[in-house]
Amino acid sequence: MIHARGLTRRFTVKRKVVEAVRGLDLDVEQGQLVAFLGPNGAGKSTSLRMLTTLLPPTSGTATVAGRDIAADPDGVRARIGYVGQSSGAGEQFRAGDELVAQGYAYGLTRREARRRAAEVMDMLDLTPLAARRPSTMSGGQRRRLDIALGLIHRPPLLFLDEPTTGLDPHTRADVWQHILRLREQYGMTLFLTTHYLEEADSMAERVVVIDHGRVIADGTAARLKGDLAGDRVTLTAHDPADTARAAATAGRVFGADRVAVENGAVRVRVPRADAALPELLRVLEGEGVRVATAETARPTLDDVFLALTGRTLREAEAEGAGAAEGTEGADAARPTTAQPAAASAAAPEGDRA
């Protein structure tokens, strides 16, 4: 469904070159649900916009839904749906009319457009809201309408750029339920960006982690965690004066890695906590360090990110936000519509380097 090789995109802002995406190689098979995970500014949206033909790459190639993004952008657009970060629904029209109008934009006849609008409303539980204007809808309802707009022409592949950002946890769960249903019931291939770790972890069958424009990990969440992060052991010494000694000892346990002291607790990574903890407690006891508390935890995707980059996703987010502030014009050039039809009208954005 998606085959990208060496996709690169540079922007020049005030004579400064921003390497937004640096050589993306990606293969996504039909029916997969892939989460593209990374901090702000990692290059997720830029990658998505290249794959959806909204933005020409500086270099590299890709075929999406069997069509080349450079040679046949119209063919790509006809076969994909794209739901951008901002709502694509206008405010004047009722939801049902908006969907029918979107159908016309894709060249459907009046009858086909009506039938398809009814179908996608049913898919996304919007039928009772057909006569409502988007401005009267809740955040989750509007998001579902955005997704419906992206599906009007029956694309087998749907791109979603941060579909749940800004929604409360309950609404996020509801939107996810609908996304999962698209895959289960309709066999769609779904490619979405997120910076919510838990979502990527629990919902996607494959997680592609991107940082500074490069893919740094790709696999199931379970495999990434198992291969890259390891378990975590956290313990506190009965006497706080023993904390530094406990940390030094923890670092000597077989396979121990990344020892840190945080808020008076010693944290250490080990391949298997069930094997390491008894050994650690025994060694500490031998050194006269009394342990007050000890706990173990399975790794999270944030641990994977930390293992790969040396910083947590939150730290990277803060860094990315700072960098984005310094990148003038970046936001001004972003598309603000979720309508795939806009793809055909979209001009290349930003300066090409």
Ligand X SMILES: Nc1ncnc2c1ncn2[C@@H]1O[C@H](COP(=O)(O)OP(=O)(O)OP(=O)(O)O)[C@@H](O)[C@H]1O
Q: Which residues bind ligand X (CB under 6 A)?
A: 11, 13, 18, 20, 38, 40-46, 195, 323-324, 327, 329-330, 333, 349-350
Rounded to a whole number of angstroms, the minimum distance from the CB of residue 324 to ligand X is 5
Rounded to a whole number of angstroms, the minimum distance from the CB of residue 46 to ligand X is 3
> Is the CB of 130 or the CB of 318 nearer to ligand X?
318
> Is the CB of 42 or the CB of 192 nearer to ligand X?
42
Rounded to a whole number of angstroms, the minimum distance from the CB of residue 38 to ligand X is 5
Rounded to a whole number of angstroms, the minimum distance from the CB of residue 10 to ligand X is 9
Rounded to a whole number of angstroms, the minimum distance from the CB of residue 320 to ligand X is 6
Rounded to a whole number of angstroms, the minimum distance from the CB of residue 209 to ligand X is 11
Rounded to a whole number of angstroms, the minimum distance from the CB of residue 193 to ligand X is 6
Residue 169 burial (10 A CB sphere; 0-12, 13-18, 19+): exposed
> 3-state secondary structure string, the chain?
CEEEEEEEEEEEECCEEEEEEEEEEEEECCCCEEEEECCCCCCHHHHHHHHCCCCCCCEEEEEECCEECCCCHHHHHHHEEEECCCCCCCCCCCHHHHHHHHHHHCCCCHHHHHHHHHHHHHHCCCHHHCCCCHHHCCHHHHHHHHHHHHHCCCCCEEEEECCCCCCCHHHHHHHHHHHHHHHHHHCCEEEEEECCHHHHHHHCCEEEEEECCEEEEEECHHHHHHHHHCEEEEEEECCHHHHHHHHHHHCCCCCCEEEEEECCEEEEEECCHHHHHHHHHHHHHHCCCCEEEEEEECCCHHHHHHHHHCCCHHHHHHHHHHHHHCCCCCCCCCCCCCCCHHHHHCCCCCCEC
> Is the CB of 236 or the CB of 337 nearer to ligand X?
337
> Is the CB of 38 or the CB of 140 nearer to ligand X?
38
> Is the CB of 46 or the CB of 53 nearer to ligand X?
46
Rounded to a whole number of angstroms, the minimum distance from the CB of residue 20 to ligand X is 3
> Is the CB of 125 or the CB of 315 nearer to ligand X?
315
Q: What are the phi and psi torsion angles at 129 (to 5°)?
A: -105, 10
> Is the CB of 47 or the CB of 102 nearer to ligand X?
47
Chain centroid offset of residue 196 CA: 7
Dist CA 196 CA 44 (whole Å)? 13
> Is the CB of 192 or the CB of 228 nearer to ligand X?
192
> Is the CB of 283 or the CB of 324 nearer to ligand X?
324
Region label for 331, one of left (φ > 0), alpha (ψ between -120 and 50) or beta (otherwise): alpha
> Is the CB of 100 or the CB of 208 nearer to ligand X?
208
Dist CA 96 CA 119 (whole Å)? 11
Rounded to a whole number of angstroms, the minimum distance from the CB of residue 206 to ligand X is 18
Rounded to a whole number of angstroms, the minimum distance from the CB of residue 41 to ligand X is 4
Compute how many other C-beta atoms are within 10 angstroms of the C-beta atom of residue 97.
15
